[in-house]
Amino acid sequence: MTGLGWLAAIIVGGIAGWLAEQFMKSNMGILMNIILGIVGAVVLNAILMFIVGSTLGGWIGQLIIGFIGACILIAIARAFRRST
């Protein structure tokens, strides 16, 4: 998470994960929300850097990236659970 400190990354990741949980109608708990938000942001930022060569900066940009990344991770987890 470029430009954000660890505490800010946890806060933004938690908010992004919570928003994704509400949007995807999932019930995973606060710790998983934070993890999904941070991991989602990191993964999506890496993909954006590879494809576009840039990422969204600042709190709002990272919140958007974390939200989208967390939604993608929730969808992947659901698909994986259904297939097994």
Alpha helices, H only, the chain: 6-24, 30-51, 58-83
With beta carbons less than 8 A apart as the criterion, state whether 37 and 67 touch: yes
> How far apart, in whole angstroms, are the C-alpha atoms of residue 19 and residue 24?
9
pLDDT band per the 50, 70, 90 thresholds, residue 23: very high
The DSSP letter of residue 53 is S
What is the rounded average pLDDT for all residues in the chain? Answer: 82
Indicate the pTM of the whole model. Answer: 0.78
* pLDDT tens digits for range 59-69: 888 888 889 98
Q: Domain coordinates of the chain in residue numbers?
A: 6-79
Q: How many CB atoms lie within 10 A of CB 4?
A: 18
Return the ∠ at Cα 33 (arms to 49 and 35), rounded to 5°: 50
